[in-house]
Structure 1
């Protein structure tokens, strides 16, 4: 006869099976979504009754198993918070209503159009809404959008009027409804507002978030919690983890300016990539885009770019343009770097044209994707030669607003004759001076252009002198590549030494351990780690000074942020757990190397308006810190595996104690990482709720972050799942779990895509 206790125990075990089933379904669905589209998978999977039932069954079985056991209160609150969040999500799905309002300036609406998914039709608004004005705010001196602002007048049923503003990340709450800035008309005289009505689900969901944050903190600081018990574990108290511690060749390139002339040119200002920056930055981005590095045959980026401008025919034959795809190289008969002329036939035909036609006709293959990538580089060269990139002339329009113009642009009405003449002739005179080798005249022309820019400095928005100095220094420091090589080399040497010492682990007869190490190597490792941390902090500080925001806005910046956090954690723990020194060096070196491989865009640009929220900064910071800590669990697994391999198996003498100690240290990182990841995911949900009116949208990045969180959460339940008490099983699981982080970050960004993808 099955007892009540047995039934409850089986229900708890069943919840883990269903949880894995949910993870498998969500993971597979993200790949299906890439093929059939988001709407289709939302309708057939995420919004289906069986998917909701599976979540409900998992929650009920898990809660039943938990209530049958005597667990600390914070554990109960943590699990209850997930049930509350699920209930809130269910109430939102069945009771909330979303819709839109489209208003032209001066137009009034008394109803909003309900989305088809919520039944369609029209419903009344709590007040008459009139659009009194709309504005696209831009970053000064550029065309980059900073915010979208709708000025509204509300008139309620009593006749009372109120002026309000709705913009990105600034939500209007009125009459139980929330109004979000969604879009606008192309003539900027109309605005689209998102309307959300969710009186029951949203408060319950936010209550679940509050319980979650409280219980995660409680889990880390409770005296009765597992985390505090791990910190008191004998393996850590024994101080077990101690560590033993291209020369460039230059070939003659096509002609260009001298280094001094190019440097002088690089100090001019230009409107590029949504902001005003030194010409040096444009030259660096141009050169990196073409050949993958900011130096070519000993020439600086400024020399490369001016070479293309003033000596175009010679540079057309320079093998500078990177072609990464081997199939495309074979088809074109070129090497890894090709000349501009290699892409044109002797008759003048464009050799990439057939592949571009296939791409835009929807026949996408690896070959057509590679052709589009190379075409982007060639189009950048053409834009440079046509003068479209030379937005170096700050001029005021009829209302006194300054914009930056290229010599080929139509100048604003009212531009005086002398200024217009200077704009039209200065670059042709620069060309003449460069061709004749008259460096003195070229310098005077650059000075005249600088004076033209400085004349508008009091009216136009210029970067500060301090910011420009920081940017020029930043451009001259290829720190991520240097630091990645240093960290990887030093980390690898220290890790080899660590494994060699662990292989000589000795066990006394009384069971205690005897351990020896080279303190000098350990101190050298700590010194290198500290020096690298200071250098990376300085580098990130320069980027903050230049952009005016935290460096968390794209894939390149988040790679740097993870590296910084890894090094910070290693420094904080290295005295108690010296093994984290080689771990921190290796892991930070890997992340820095990835940031430098050319797949990520290092350009500094303004954030999209919707990203200018403090909730976003908190969300990204928490998630990146979590990934850094979870990376250490992967490193512990690799070290344990290396030790077992070196000693010839888990039963060898001197293996069990260090492997168990590594598992304890790994669990310290796991508890911290899972708490930060859970907090980061749900802070992101709050940000989404404030920006779009929905907390969760089943985007691939959201789905894989949830899969990672759930996958890492399972080993914490070692009371119910006894296998995780075995150190090597635990380490093997942690190594597999890290693949979900890899998929969340790189797989989504560079394969699946989606709203959260950094690849673009």
Structure 2
């Protein structure tokens, strides 16, 4: 009876959390915060889950200390959450420079926040926004404060990821006034809940590691299994390259376009090579890094200097959709396709007007997407994009485009130079005076060096960016990995479902293929490592701050783990190829933006690196358990279809062992990564758990995969086929956590990741 009640509460809790994230999409965050996460029945559900869990552990008379402390830590975390819910005080305080206050507005879940008193007065002395050099991209928001407690005064500083604590009250940077003379701080007082919760976190981290090293626990027993001596081999595949197309409209020669591409520009709120803008421009509009044999720099220079001619080029790639079908448009269209005097000028104009008035069906969404691409071209042709002229005054550097309104502090000679240098360059190009054109470009580079202050990237950063731009890492690697993975998987399934054992010749062939596979995986791993290092050098931040970078990270981790496991499980290389290829493919064709940008202030924390990398490690391990499950199901299906007399018990058991060996460290990594994220949230926002959709689905993922570790409680999972089916299905929670929250639910502060 106790076990059935435990299962019921466990399933109900997961279902309630999953439903809440879907309801939030339609009803809003406030609704689910009040009617689900903040409701009495949701708290009772967790309490009943904890009570039945404790009762089941007591009934089973569990004596393994590593497991007892692990489950005790979860109970302590829930107790801390309850204390926070009952005793914590949160609110907001609006400060103006020089005006002390001793009150704040408490968030009590109503439309009229309550006014509460602080045990001290607080005064804002100054508010500043710090920027990345030479850009308008904020790197931090900083409030300089004075705490007035009777006759004592304490100076302090609050910024993103840098809180101030006084008399058990913590202050967090939240927002600011547009006139820069006011700051909005979050106020949090939770002296009991945080202490208990952090105790639970610490015990959880210790217990998760202890679970892996305890000699008598399940994981160490798995490592002593005789099945670890067995392995599976695979085969290799080749890759073909596509030929180049014919040349396009007028543009600069490749060498001169490359020279132009070496200029620096303010783009994406950072200073980078003009080449980077050229590649992004070409990929966004045409869908590839080149156009009819022309480099991205040649494409960009063509649009800059010969815009009318290029407007007739079928350059814009159209996705399939209602607008394309209705207007019967080809896959590639020119800008002039959308300008027709007989149809009233800009033919998308009426549709765009309807789109911004609220008509957001598929037809109008595609019209808006095409309009955005055309606007990119128009902004380039008008020179608005070309912020290549730096001006430094008072230690601050601003970058201008040739058509910008320039301040009076810039001399008349420089104004004329900025406004006319592109026309001068075009004039020399038309006359065929190549040496003069190159001299003008070189002088533009010298102008940047003389006037950019300290905002220009260093030589190593420039080299790294040009190297990164030159090699389409994700494109090459996903093709290599998927090709290797599919061929070796097919070979492995055929071998494992065959009724006869391998011959000696088969064994020699398998060894040769394994060496080739390992060498290929090693080369792919080295290439992806190089890619990540280049992005790190260019941005100055560890490359794990957005969806694209975390996809590369999880692919990198999958490769590393599969090579490590291949010594005892050669089929791990096949799994590694498939999952790394999948993640790289997603980064290549998905909605993720591969552009390198400055990191947001709230992400500028060392806890980001720990939080993301550890969770990505868990996802990498669990992705391999998914491939184990799919492979096992495929072997079983192939065996039935062939009507073989032999047994699949041995290969399925070996795959189950590999999957369980991956599962336990994955659970440890997922638990540690999730709750490190909670600590980071508490440091940044004063709330370690806010039921954000991605937080919620990460918890659901942890709870679902934890089921597979309880084979003593669930005997059905001891059977290999049942276990593999569960692990394959459980992977859906990872897909929902990583992709579903971003692209289906589309809400919460984690959607950037």
Q: Considering the TM-score relative to the shorter chain, is it more than 0.5?
A: yes
**Quick one: distance in 1 between partners of 2:539 and 2:412?**
35
**What is the CA distance between 1:117 and its match in structure 2?**
2.1
Conserved 8 A contact 1:127-1:155: yes
Q: 1:343 aligns with which of 338, 347, 357?
A: 338
**Quick one: distance in 1 between partners of 2:131 and 2:267?**
14
**What is the CA distance between 1:516 and its match in structure 2?**
7.8
Q: 2:416 aligns with which of 421, 431, 438?
A: 421
**Quick one: distance in 2 between partners of 1:675 and 1:243?**
30
**What is the CA distance between 1:759 and its match in structure 2?**
5.7
Residues 173-252 of structure 1: pairs in structure 2 closer than 5 A? 173-236=165-228, 238-243=229-234, 246-252=241-247
Is 1:434 aligned to residue 429 of structure 2?
yes
1:178-231 per-position Cα deviation (integer Å, ceiling 9, x unaligned): 000000111212111110111111111111111111111111111111111111
Conserved 8 A contact 1:633-1:669: yes
**What is the CA distance between 1:416 and its match in structure 2?**
2.1
Q: 2:460 aligns with which of 446, 455, 466?
A: 466
Is 1:97 aligned to residue 89 of structure 2?
yes
For residue 173 of structure 1, give the secondary structure of its aligned residue in structure 2: strand
Q: 2:3 aligns with which of 9, 12, 28?
A: 12
1:61-98 per-position Cα deviation (integer Å, ceiling 9, x unaligned): 01110122132111111111111111111111121111
Corresponding position of 2:133:
140
**Quick one: distance in 2 between partners of 1:291 and 1:361?**
29
Corresponding position of 1:493:
487
Corresponding position of 2:248:
253
TM-score by length of 1: 0.94
**Quick one: distance in 1 between partners of 2:195 and 2:632?**
46
**What is the CA distance between 1:46 and its match in structure 2?**
1.1
Corresponding position of 1:483:
477
Residues 459-608 of structure 1: pairs in structure 2 closer than 5 A? 459-504=453-498, 518-608=510-600
**What is the CA distance between 1:484 and its match in structure 2?**
0.9
Is 1:43 aligned to residue 34 of structure 2?
yes
**Quick one: distance in 2 between partners of 1:651 and 1:233?**
28
Conserved 8 A contact 2:143-2:183: yes
Conserved 8 A contact 1:501-1:517: no
**What is the CA distance between 1:685 and its match in structure 2?**
0.7
**Quick one: distance in 1 between partners of 2:615 and 2:278?**
34
Is 1:710 aligned to residue 706 of structure 2?
no
Corresponding position of 1:691:
684
Is 1:363 aligned to residue 359 of structure 2?
yes
Deviates more, 1:98-107 or 1:176-185: 98-107
1:414-440 per-position Cα deviation (integer Å, ceiling 9, x unaligned): 222222221121112123233333322
Aligned residues between the structures? 742
Conserved 8 A contact 2:175-2:184: yes
For residue 589 of structure 2, give the secondary structure of its aligned residue in structure 1: coil
Q: 1:267 aligns with which of 259, 262, 269?
A: 262
Conserved 8 A contact 1:502-1:643: yes
Change (3 A) 1:364 1:135: same
Conserved 8 A contact 2:103-2:116: yes
Conserved 8 A contact 1:329-1:335: yes
**Quick one: distance in 2 between partners of 1:575 and 1:215?**
28
Corresponding position of 1:748:
741
Conserved 8 A contact 1:325-1:367: no
**What is the CA distance between 1:757 and its match in structure 2?**
4.5
Conserved 8 A contact 2:104-2:116: yes
Q: 2:349 aligns with which of 321, 346, 353?
A: 353
For residue 111 of structure 1, give the secondary structure of its aligned residue in structure 2: strand
**Quick one: distance in 2 between partners of 1:554 and 1:758?**
9
**What is the CA distance between 1:503 and its match in structure 2?**
2.4
Corresponding position of 1:511:
none
Change (3 A) 1:169 1:304: same
1:533-561 per-position Cα deviation (integer Å, ceiling 9, x unaligned): 11111111111110111110111111110
**Quick one: distance in 1 between partners of 2:673 and 2:749?**
14
**What is the CA distance between 1:243 and its match in structure 2?**
4.0
Conserved 8 A contact 1:507-1:654: no
Conserved 8 A contact 1:240-1:658: no
1:149-181 per-position Cα deviation (integer Å, ceiling 9, x unaligned): 001112111x11122110000000001100000
Change (3 A) 1:44 1:353: farther
TM-score by length of 2: 0.95
For residue 98 of structure 1, give the secondary structure of its aligned residue in structure 2: strand
**Quick one: distance in 2 between partners of 1:363 and 1:469?**
46
**Quick one: distance in 2 between partners of 1:441 and 1:502?**
69
Q: 1:446 aligns with which of 441, 445, 452?
A: 441
Corresponding position of 2:368:
372
**Quick one: distance in 2 between partners of 1:367 and 1:701?**
30
Corresponding position of 2:23:
32
1:217-262 per-position Cα deviation (integer Å, ceiling 9, x unaligned): 11111111111111111211x3233446842341331211110110
Corresponding position of 2:387:
391
For residue 163 of structure 1, give the secondary structure of its aligned residue in structure 2: strand
**Quick one: distance in 1 between partners of 2:727 and 2:573?**
20
**Quick one: distance in 1 between partners of 2:167 and 2:752?**
40
**What is the CA distance between 1:746 and its match in structure 2?**
1.2
**Quick one: distance in 1 between partners of 2:209 and 2:187?**
35
Conserved 8 A contact 2:321-2:362: no
For residue 596 of structure 1, give the secondary structure of its aligned residue in structure 2: helix
Is 1:728 aligned to residue 724 of structure 2?
no
**What is the CA distance between 1:758 and its match in structure 2?**
4.5
Conserved 8 A contact 2:321-2:366: no
Q: 1:678 aligns with which of 651, 671, 674?
A: 671
1:326-365 per-position Cα deviation (integer Å, ceiling 9, x unaligned): 2121123212222112223325533333433343333322
**What is the CA distance between 1:467 and its match in structure 2?**
0.8
Corresponding position of 2:396:
401
Corresponding position of 2:46:
55
**Quick one: distance in 2 between partners of 1:487 and 1:507?**
28
Residues 270-289 of structure 1: pairs in structure 2 closer than 5 A? 270-289=265-284
